[in-house]
Structure 1
Amino acid sequence: MTNRLELNGSRQFCSWLNEHQISISFSTYQAGKLFFIGMQDAQKMSVFERTFARCMGIGLDPKTDSLWVANLYQLWRFENALKPGQSHQGYDRVYVPQVGYTTGDIDVHDVAIDDQGVLFVNTLFSCLARPSETHSFEPIWQPPFISKLAAEDRCHLNGLAVKDGKAAYVTCVSQTDVNEGWREHRQDGGVVIDVQHNEVIADGLSMPHSPRWYRNKLWVLNSGQGEFGYIDMKTGQFEVVAFCPGYLRGLSFQGNFAVVGLSKPRGNKTFEGLALHDKLKHKKVAPRCGLQVINLNTGDIVHELRIEGIVEELYDVCVLPNTQRPMAIGFMNEEIRRVLSLPF
C-alpha cells in the first residue's frame, strides 16, 4: 500500500458544496482518519484530516451541532469552538474534542442522537447502547433473536436509523445467535429490524448498512450488491434507486440528494462471493473508493469525490450544514493546549 493520497472531485462537485453551503465529514477505520471536506474559496476544495485509530461512526446532533465520533476504544463529543461569524486560520468550524467515554474495543459502528442523547451500535455485543459514566457501556436494546449479551458479534448488527427522536431501525448481516454466525450469511441473510416493534421488516439483503429515515422513507445501503435504495414499508421489499461501483457504507442527505460512501472490497473471506464482484465485472468497472452524490428523484450519480492511494475503505459519511470550511483539533500536537472556548 502506498502512502500517497489523492482526492479529486468531479467537475461540479465543488460548485455543489458551495451552492448548498455544506461540508462533508467522513471516516476511514482502515487508515484511522477523520476527514473534513469543504471549500477554501469559491473554486478551491479544502481537505482536512485528523488521525483517530479505527475511526467509525459519526453522529451530528441537529440541535446543538455537536459531533460524536467513535474510534477503536472511545466515543468522543466534539464541539465547535467558534462563535457565529468567527474564523480561525480560514476555517469557520473548529471542532474540539470536549468529552470522551472509554468503551473498550467493542467495535462501535453507527452513532446517532435521539431525544435522550447519544446512542451507538455495539457490534461486538450485538446491541444498541449508550455511554456510561461508570462502565464501558449501557445496553438498551438487542435484536429479538439474540439470546444473550455476549462479546461474540453474533449477527453483525451495524446500522442505526432514528425516527421522530427514537431509535427506530437497525441493520444486521444475519439473524444468527452464535459467535460470528453472520459470516455464513453474507450473500442474502441481511435484515432490517423495527426496534420499537421488535420485528424484522425486510430480509434477503446482502450485508446491509447505514439505514436512515429521511423524507418519510427508510433508506438503506444493500452493500454486498452495491445498491442504494429504500424499503417499501408495505411489502418489505428493497427498492433499488442506484447502483454504485463499490462496497457501500455511510449515508447522509442534503435536500434532494444522498451522499454515499464507497469502498474497495478487501481481498479476504468477508467480501468473497458477494454479488458485487459479478456486477462490477459485468459492468466492466473497477471498485472505487470515494463519495457519490445521488439525485433522489432520478437515481442519477450527479457528483463524485474519488479517493486514491492509502485510503481504500470508508465507514461513515456526515453532511455538515451551514459550514464552508471545517477542521478538528487532534490530541497529538500542541494546538489542543492553545484553543480556548469561553462561555461569554
Structure 2
Amino acid sequence: MRSKAVPQREIAFRASADFSGILRHLNSSLLVSTYAAGKVAIVGAGQDDQVDLRFHNFQQAMGMAWDGRRLAVGGQNQIWILEAEPQLANQIPPTGQYDQAVLYRRAYGTGNIHVHEMQWTGEELWFANTLFSCLCTLDGNYSFVPRWQPSFIKELAPEDRCHLNGMTMQDGMPKYVSVLGMTNQARGWRENKASGGAILDVPSGEIVSQGLAMPHSPRIHNGRLLVLNSGCGTLESVDESNGDRVVVDKLPGYLRGMDFAGQFAFIGMSRARETSVFGGIPIEAEKDDLRCGVGVVDLHSGRAVAWLQMDTGVEEIFGVTVVPNVKRLAMSGPYPDVDESEPVWLLPPPGSVPPR
C-alpha cells in the first residue's frame, strides 16, 4: 500500500494480518510521530482488514500527549495544541467516516529546546525539556517553566547534559524519567551510550535502575514499571524495589515511544542508521535487520503479535499514542495546505455573539 496524502514524500508501508484487527477489537486508533519526516500519522482500522494510514505535517514532530479533550504535539520551536471537536467529525470529507476530530487552535513558542515526551495532568502540560535537562510546564509569558531537574544537573543550561527524554505520571504528577547518562557535562551522555542510561524517581531523585543502553519511554502500566531499553531493542519490566530488570520481549528496532490499550503495548521502532548517535550500542550489530514502524506486544504472553512497517519515506519513529474509543480520527493540523486537506473552520453558534 502507498499513502497518497503526503506531498513530496512517498511513504510505502505494510502491516501484519492482525494489526488492523487488533485496533478494531480495541475500538481505538493510533497517533505516530516522526521528527525527521516532520509528520504525525493517524493509524486506524480500514476496510477489509487493511490499515488506514493518513499523514499530517508538523515540523520535527516529537512528543505527543492526548487526554481525550486535547492533543499536544512538540516540535522544533513550539508546542502545538489541537482541541477535540466531535461536532465537526461528520462534516470533514469524506463525510460520515469519522467519529472524532481534532482541530489546531494555538501554539506556544518554546524555542528549539528538543521537546521530548509529554503528558497532560489536569490543565497542565508537563514535558521533557531535553536541551535544558529538566521537566517543564507551559506558560504563555515564558518559553518554558522549569519544574524539576536531576540532582546531578547543577544549573540550567542549553547543553543536553544527560538527554532527559522520557517521563511517566503517577497520581497526577511526574513519577519516573529516563536519561541516557547521569552527567553534568555538555552532551556528556554520549561518552557511555551502551550502559550509561538510567531510570530516575522524580519525587526522591533516586536512581531506580541503571546500566541501560539509551532508554526511553518509562511507563507505569497495571501496577508495574516498564521501559524501553532502546539500544538493546528490548521491552523490559523493572522491579521498583531493587532496579532489577526482566526482558518482556525483543523487537527488531531502536525502540522509542510506547502506549497501551487492553493487554497490548504499542511500541515505536526505528532503523537507527546514524552512526554518530547510535554507534557503539548493542543493536548496531543488527542494523541491517532493523525495522521502522510500530510493534504490538501482548503483555499477557510476552511476545510480539502484530506490526506496522514503513518501507520507504520514514526511517524513525518518535512517539506512539493510543486514542481510545476512536476508530477513525480526523485532523485539521497547522499546515492544511501542505497536507492537501480541505480547510476546516469552527464558528460560534448563530446569535451567541452580540453585534457591535
Residue 240 of structure 1: aligned partner: 247
Check the 8 A contact 1:32/1:53 in 2, yes or no: yes
Counterpart-to-counterpart distance in 1, 2:243 and 2:234: 16
Q: Does 1:71 align with 2:78?
A: no
Residue 174 of structure 2: aligned partner: 167
Structure 1 length as normaliser, TM-score? 0.93
**Structure 1 unmatched ranges of 5 or more:** none
Counterpart-to-counterpart distance in 2, 1:85 and 1:32: 25
1:218-257 alpha-carbon deviations (Å, 9 max, x no partner):
1100000001012111220121100011100000001111
1:182, distance to aligned residue in structure 2 (A): 0.5
1:95-125 alpha-carbon deviations (Å, 9 max, x no partner):
1112311101000000111245111000000
Counterpart-to-counterpart distance in 1, 2:70 and 2:228: 25
Residue 113 of structure 1: aligned partner: 120
Residue 317 of structure 2: aligned partner: 314
Residue 328 of structure 1: aligned partner: 331
Counterpart-to-counterpart distance in 1, 2:197 and 2:170: 21
Residue 128 of structure 1: aligned partner: 135
Check the 8 A contact 1:262/1:289 in 2, yes or no: yes
Check the 8 A contact 1:48/1:327 in 2, yes or no: no
Letter in 2 for 1:23: S
Counterpart-to-counterpart distance in 2, 1:85 and 1:131: 29
Check the 8 A contact 1:81/1:341 in 2, yes or no: no
Counterpart-to-counterpart distance in 2, 1:197 and 1:267: 35
Counterpart-to-counterpart distance in 1, 2:306 and 2:238: 24
1:279-323 alpha-carbon deviations (Å, 9 max, x no partner):
x37xxx710001010011221110110111110101000011011
Aligned pairs, number: 337
**Structure 2 unmatched ranges of 5 or more:** 1-7
Residues 87 and 129 (structure 1), Cα distance of their counterparts in 2 relative to 1, 3 Å cut: same
Alignment of 1:34-113 (within 5 A): 34-41=40-47, 43-61=49-67, 64-83=68-87, 86=90, 88=92, 89=94, 90-113=97-120
Q: Please state whether the residue corresponding to 1:157 is helix, strand or coil.
A: coil
Q: Which moved more, 1:38-47 or 1:175-184?
A: 38-47
Counterpart-to-counterpart distance in 1, 2:130 and 2:106: 22
Residues 27 and 85 (structure 1), Cα distance of their counterparts in 2 relative to 1, 3 Å cut: closer
Residue 197 of structure 2: aligned partner: 190
1:342, distance to aligned residue in structure 2 (A): 4.6
Check the 8 A contact 1:120/1:130 in 2, yes or no: yes
1:213, distance to aligned residue in structure 2 (A): 1.1
Aligned equivalent of 1:20, options 12, 23, 26: 26
Aligned equivalent of 2:284, options 265, 277, 288: 277
Q: Which moved more, 1:43-52 or 1:242-251?
A: 43-52
Q: Does 1:287 align with 2:290?
A: yes
Counterpart-to-counterpart distance in 2, 1:317 and 1:87: 27
State, as a whole percentage, how many aligned pairs show the same letter.
36
Check the 8 A contact 1:110/1:158 in 2, yes or no: yes
Q: Please state whether the residue corresponding to 1:184 is helix, strand or coil.
A: helix
1:43, distance to aligned residue in structure 2 (A): 3.1
Counterpart-to-counterpart distance in 1, 2:239 and 2:327: 35
Check the 8 A contact 1:125/1:152 in 2, yes or no: yes
Check the 8 A contact 1:330/1:336 in 2, yes or no: no
Letter in 2 for 1:16: I
Residues 47 and 237 (structure 1), Cα distance of their counterparts in 2 relative to 1, 3 Å cut: same
Letter in 2 for 1:130: T
Counterpart-to-counterpart distance in 1, 2:11 and 2:202: 40
